[in-house]
Amino acid sequence: MTKARDEFSIISRYFSAIGDADPNTLLSVGDDAAVVDIPAQMQLVVSTDTLISGIHFPQETSAADIAYKALAVNLSDLAAMAADPAWFLLSLTLPHSDDDWLRPFADSLNQTAQQYGLELIGGDTCRGSLSVGIQIGGLVPAGQYITRKGASPGDLILVSGELGNAGLGLASIQHKIELPEALDATCRQALNRPRPRLQLQSFLRQFASAAIDISDGLQADLAHILKSSNCGATVYQDQLPVNQWIQQQAAYEYALNAGDDYEICCCIAAANETQIGRWNQDHPDCRLSVVGHITDSGYLLDNGESDVDLATVAAGYQHFD
Amino acid sequence: MTKARDEFSIISRYFSAIGDADPNTLLSVGDDAAVVDIPAQMQLVVSTDTLISGIHFPQETSAADIAYKALAVNLSDLAAMAADPAWFLLSLTLPHSDDDWLRPFADSLNQTAQQYGLELIGGDTCRGSLSVGIQIGGLVPAGQYITRKGASPGDLILVSGELGNAGLGLASIQHKIELPEALDATCRQALNRPRPRLQLQSFLRQFASAAIDISDGLQADLAHILKSSNCGATVYQDQLPVNQWIQQQAAYEYALNAGDDYEICCCIAAANETQIGRWNQDHPDCRLSVVGHITDSGYLLDNGESDVDLATVAAGYQHFD
């Protein structure tokens, strides 16, 4: 089958020097594979996330925002594992080779890669409907990675930042809601430019019993922790960190189910509760909020009036009884 | 944006235990990322290749053949680097969740992964037009990987197996040519079930100055070696390892440009020529043929009557004068 004839020129023109060269990279873009050293006492953390136009981002999203977000959602996976970003591969599928799209895409990819200490070491480009696949590699000192398994009854459930903003941004773009101007800008920014919470690394390594990044909404992602840890949870609606608009409209479904926030949800032993205040004092841009606690079984939302069963509200979460 | 709601059930139902569990895998499918150990004195070799329906395989290709080929083309990249397969990630984009497709796909993926000592350690599934992205990780003893750079004038150019069969198979499926029945079966098999030449590992590590796998045809892929090594080459048409049909029809363009053969092209010093006979005696299923030699400059095909300039015949190869 014939590939895009310009695959090689696209790679050499746009993607041969993205991010900062890493001394552990022995062979980078331009061979059959890349070769990297893994420093002694470190373990490799790898993940992949693909963004598809019209599914993971609105079709009108700018090339620069797509490049940023493709890296950010993968960096967010490393953040949830408490790993350090190292390198990435890019699988780019494009309907046609277009400098007006590729140039800002490559520039934004480069800027973001440099910001987070990543080097592009390989990948492929194909012709087809637009999708951006990133495979990311990170490093963690042996045994210090955090998984979804490890939460236990009594643990506090924390989330970083605010939940629901990305979902509001999408609803606004889709003309489903109308937001005040400043909030609208904030929410569209949250949708297009989610911030991977890599700064939580030391907190997670020291205190977290389990962690996950919130890509599908707190309800679904916390459910993964519960399933892996074989626990239940109670979440308090009035403790969810949301903006005033969500509070006033009681539109908590954006915080629980809209997804795309890429905040971190983690669990810590209740004995470490005082660490939260310390963290928040030093990190006003990445505040942690207690939103509930881990229980033996059941998955409930206390909305102030009654307990809503989160395990049966949506399909797929029926395994927590 | 909403993802396929059944992503998690697809992964847990079909992809939670593919291939053989590797003792170096610390965390596999089912978390935000996978975690692996890289043994001491080993280097990591990573590559990614995406197969898109209608571009990299005919739309009517069976799910089992697609799964096989997606792994095989990535294994072929490791073979060209002289690396050992270790693990892979899967990025699967599907128009709809269909057990009649997913079951044979997963079974074939599992069978192939087991055959080559690979473990599936992570990935994602999305809804969209059919594409299969594999990111493969392999290991090589420190410094023993082979690149495209390193060929020098006087080196012999070798290729494994036969060239052009996959191209003939595709042309036959597309009703562009009619082949004798037995050859037709062989060529369709070559297209759908290319054999990654991992058995060449020891030969490459001992003797190869440069290597590449032939995915786009010998002409384009040898050009990559020449560009990386800053050399030229002369290729002898009558030394190309092709089947009788290609010889009789003088249809050498299938060997030079059709691609999809996934044989290995490598260079060795002329002083090692006697190693080729030894190799071929022991490996009748993976014979090596000398097809030309490396020169200072120029990229020529000696067709017995004249020298055809391969550097200017096709776009993109104009850098070898």
Q: Does B318 score more than 80 pLDDT?
A: no
Q: How many angstroms separate the CA atoms of B2 and A56, rounded?
A: 7
Q: How many angstroms separate the CA atoms of B221 and A192, rounded?
A: 39
Question: How do residues A67-105 score in pLDDT, each as one tens digit?
Answer: 999 999 999 999 999 999 999 999 999 988 888 999 999
Q: What is the DSSP letter of A284?
A: G
pLDDT the model gives residue A8? 61
Segments in B116-209 forming alpha helices (H): 165-173, 181-192, 201-207
Q: Does A204 score more than 70 pLDDT?
A: yes
Question: How do residues B41-93 score in pLDDT, each as one tens digit?
Answer: 999 999 999 998 888 888 889 999 999 999 999 999 999 999 999 999 999 99
Entry pTM: 0.90
Q: How many angstroms separate the CA atoms of B165 and B159, rounded?
A: 14
pLDDT the model gives residue B8? 61
Cβ within 8 Å of B, A 81-120: 81, 83, 89, 91, 93
Residues of B in contact with A35 (CB under 8 A): 43-45, 81, 140, 145
Cβ distance B44 to B55 under 8 Å?
Answer: no
CB-based contact B46 A121, cutoff 8 Å: yes
> How close does chain A come to B56, measured CA to CA in Å?
5
* Mean pLDDT across chain A: 91
CB-based contact A35 B148, cutoff 8 Å: no
Label residue A315 by pLDDT band (50, 70, 90).
very low
Three-state DSSP at A2 gives coil
> How close does chain B come to A316, measured CA to CA in Å?
8
Greater pLDDT, B259 or A212: A212
Domains of chain B: 7-141 (3.30.1330.10), 156-313 (3.90.650.10)
Residue with tokens 């699988």: A91
Residues of B in contact with A13 (CB under 8 A): none
Cβ within 8 Å of A, B 253-312: 259-260
Give the torsion sign (CA, B298, B303, B305, B308).
negative
CB-based contact A128 B123, cutoff 8 Å: no
Neighbours of B272 (CB within 10 A): 15
Tokens of A315: 């399909």
Q: How many angstroms separate the CA atoms of B45 and A26, rounded?
A: 10
Question: How do residues B189-220 score in pLDDT, each as one tens digit?
Answer: 999 999 999 999 999 999 999 999 999 999 99
Minimum-distance CB partner of A128 among B27, B55, B170: B55
CB-based contact A27 B147, cutoff 8 Å: yes
Question: How many A/B residue pairs have CB atoms within 8 Å?
Answer: 208
Cβ within 8 Å of B, A 24-83: 26-27, 30-38, 40, 43-50, 52, 55-58, 77-78, 80-81, 83
Q: How many angstroms separate the CA atoms of A121 and A191, rounded?
A: 27
pLDDT the model gives residue B316? 35
pLDDT the model gives residue A58? 85
CB-based contact B50 A133, cutoff 8 Å: yes
Q: Does B127 touch chain A (CB under 8 A)?
A: yes
